Structure 1
Amino acid sequence: MILHDLISFELLRVIWWALLGVLLIGFALTDGFDMGVGALLPFVGRTDVERRVAINTIGPVWEGNQVWFILGGGAIFAAWPPLYAVSFSGFYLAMFAVLAALILRPVGFKYRSKRDSAAWRNGWDWALFVGGAAPALLFGVAVGNVLLGVPFHLTEDLMPMYDGSFYGKFLGLLHPFAIVAGVVSLSMLVMHGAAWLTLKTEGPVQRRARTIGTYAGVIAAAAYALAGLWLAVGIDGFAIAGAVVTDGPSNPLHSEVLREGSWLNAYAVRPWIAVAPAMGFAGIAMAVRGLRAGREVSTLLWSKLAITGIIASVGLTMFPFILPSTVDPSSSLTVWDSSSSHLTLFVMLVMTAIFLPLILAYTAWVYKVLWGKVTEDDVTGHSESVY
């Protein structure tokens, strides 16, 4: 028996769908608080020293946290080539905006303290704000557009063709529902950044972070509830008509897809997936409670639970769809017909089983070494070694 036949093609597809979700959640859990701190920076720090304290809570770890972003992009490219082709070509203007914002972060860290000028440093602080807030917002907008459906179709030879206009490749993505999804993402990560600052700082920075984080959590819960209600009554879902072939060739055109009903019909078919939104709401509620009470470690953990539940709820609600098409529903990409080959998925799984535990172990070691609070004495007493 060939080794890769030990795991069926159907199971490998589900495993890689789940792993893609794990990588995206991992990115939100780690780099999410980096973006949240960036979005909070001008508001939690009123002096140069206070802002340096906030920056130094994420300065040593943000590069490592972005590994999850790279892994997620690589997984999409290798495991789901059609998804990579459609999303990275159709959304390239939006993705360019995200990358431009993300580039501001390392540049801001590098150049902020190069001049002893209040105007200079204030300008870079606002650049770091954009580098945190803009990606957090746009990632949510992207998720909202995936739920709405994307205007693309596949030709007979499976070449993806994006049917949106030049306008639609950026401004056209700002549908009201997508903006609500962006608000969920931004407020959720601001709450997460506040929970991180509560753990890593003290004094005025910590107090302000707790106050802003509390409001952000309330906004996140309200926007998440509004998005769910909107999905229930105002947005059509997608469904596969007829028998589903789960281990066939990766050709979306072999399936008939209808646009009907609601995405939330999935909860009637698979009631157990309601655990995901329950985790989202419970995590937000407990994180807000922790912020108000001044708790530290537990607040960050509850915030992580909220993020896990909210992101997981999207994937579980849409399953088996990955990227639905509004132009030609039968071109929609699903778990069953848009993956790489059986052998490719198996080899990738073996490599993941080897290297992912190493990444997790190294990440855990880094956070253990860097455990503790960043104080004003730390940043004023070691000016050459900190941001």
Structure 2
Amino acid sequence: MILHQFIDYETLRVIWWLLIGVLLIGFAITDGFDLGTGTLLPFVAKTDMERRIVINTIGPVWEGNQVWLIVAGGAIFAAWPPLYAVSFSGFYLAMFIILASLILRPVGFKYRSKRDSDTWRAAWDCALFIGGFVPALIFGVAMGNVLQGVPFRFNNDLRIFYEGSFFGLLNPFALLCGLISVAMLVMHGGAWLALKTSGPVAERARRYGIIAALITIILFGLAGLWVWAGFGGYRITSPIDPTGASNPLMKTVVEESGAWFVNYGSYPVLLLAPVFGFIGAAGAFIGLRARWEIATILLSALSIFGIISTVGVSMFPFILPSSLDPRSSLTVWDASSSHLTLFIMLVVTVIFIPLIVAYTSWVYHVLWGKVDEDTINDESGHAY
């Protein structure tokens, strides 16, 4: 028997749906506090030394954290080719803005202290803020558009036609999701700075983190009410073949009010996802006030896990609905690569993901501890 037949096609498709979620959540939790820290930089650091302290809390780890995004992009390309094609084409300008913003981070880290000029350093501090705020906002906006459906369609030859525009992505619900993303990551960044710094920087970080946690709870609840009352989800009305060919046009889909809540009725355990979103943010709010440093960062991560998971489990089996032609919507059952491709990728993933986790864990172990003025002075040849 061929080895890949030991895991059936349906199971592999679900496994890869879960793995993509793990990779995206891993990116949001690890690189999320980097983005949140960059967003908080102008507000928590008032002197040049304080800004250097903030920058050096993330300077040694941001590259490793961003690996999760790179791996997620590569996995989408290999495991879900139609999803990659539609999203990276339709969201091209948004993706370009995200990448341009992310590029500002390494440049800002490297060049900020090259000249002893307040104007020079202030300009790079602004760049680091943009590199944190803009990706956080646009990632959330993208998620909001996915929930509403994206204006694309396939013709009979499976050619993709995207009929939206960049400014069409900036609709009210998507902007609300963007604000949730910013608040969530600022909360996470505040928890990180409370863990990694001390003195005035940590106190300001706690204050802004508390506000961000409260805003996260309010906006997440508002988004849920909006989905419930404001627009419908999508539902497959034709028979589903979980092992069928990857052809999105071989099904019938309707837009239906309340469709994004059906999975919770069928599998009540899935309600843990939004519950984790609320409990994690509430716990981070309490933890920041009570100065529970390690517990707070873990609770903040739990909130991120819950909020992102809520989107995934609400939409399953959809991964990218089409508002233009619901039949063209991409689902777990009709947008994947072949059985053999998914199996080979799974073998590679089982080998390398533990290595990445082990290496990342070792890095955080080595770099454990607070960053303060003495740290910067002691490592003057290495600190940013």
After TM superposition, the score normalised by the length of structure 1 is 0.98
Give the match's secondary structure for 1:373.
coil
Give the match's secondary structure for 2:236.
strand
Paired residues of 1:49 and 1:380 also in contact (CA < 8 A): no
- 1:128-153: per-residue Cα shift (whole Å, max 9, x none)? 00000100010000000000100000
Match of 1:215 in 2: 211
Provide the rounded CA distance (Å) in 2 between the counterparts of 1:272 and 1:385: 48
Alpha-carbon offset, residue 271 of structure 1: 1.7
- 1:338-376: per-residue Cα shift (whole Å, max 9, x none)? 000000000000000000100010000000000000011
Match of 1:87 in 2: 87
What pairs up with 1:279-358 in 2 under 5 angstroms? 279-358=276-355
Alpha-carbon offset, residue 381 of structure 1: 3.6
Give the match's secondary structure for 1:114.
coil
Paired residues of 1:231 and 1:264 also in contact (CA < 8 A): no
Paired residues of 1:57 and 1:374 also in contact (CA < 8 A): yes
Aligned partner of 1:149: which letter? G
Aligned partner of 2:331: which letter? T
Aligned CA RMSD, in angstroms, stands at: 0.7
Match of 2:119 in 1: 119
Alpha-carbon offset, residue 261 of structure 1: 2.1
- 1:74-109: per-residue Cα shift (whole Å, max 9, x none)? 011000000000000011001101011001000100
Match of 1:191 in 2: 187
Match of 1:259 in 2: 255
Provide the rounded CA distance (Å) in 1 between the counterparts of 2:267 and 2:325: 26
Provide the rounded CA distance (Å) in 1 between the counterparts of 2:373 and 2:155: 60
Match of 2:55 in 1: 55
Alpha-carbon offset, residue 269 of structure 1: 2.1
Paired residues of 1:214 and 1:292 also in contact (CA < 8 A): yes
Alpha-carbon offset, residue 161 of structure 1: 1.1
Alpha-carbon offset, residue 159 of structure 1: 1.5
Match of 1:65 in 2: 65
Alpha-carbon offset, residue 235 of structure 1: 1.1
Structure 1 gap ranges (5+): none
Aligned partner of 1:53: which letter? I
Alpha-carbon offset, residue 264 of structure 1: 1.8
Instruction: Determine whether 1:249 maps to 2:242.
Output: no
Provide the rounded CA distance (Å) in 1 between the counterparts of 2:352 and 2:379: 35
Provide the rounded CA distance (Å) in 2 between the counterparts of 1:221 and 1:171: 27
Match of 1:36 in 2: 36
Paired residues of 1:152 and 1:326 also in contact (CA < 8 A): yes
Paired residues of 1:44 and 1:205 also in contact (CA < 8 A): yes
Provide the rounded CA distance (Å) in 2 between the counterparts of 1:4 and 1:378: 52
Provide the rounded CA distance (Å) in 1 between the counterparts of 2:69 and 2:338: 23
Aligned partner of 2:346: which letter? L
Aligned partner of 2:242: which letter? T
Structure 2 gap ranges (5+): none
- 1:44-96: per-residue Cα shift (whole Å, max 9, x none)? 10000001000000000000000000000001100000000000001100110
Aligned partner of 2:184: which letter? M
- 1:175-212: per-residue Cα shift (whole Å, max 9, x none)? 10001100110000000001000110000000000000
Aligned partner of 1:70: which letter? I
Aligned identity (percent) is 63
Match of 2:223 among 224, 227, 243: 227
Aligned partner of 1:280: which letter? G
After TM superposition, the score normalised by the length of structure 2 is 0.99
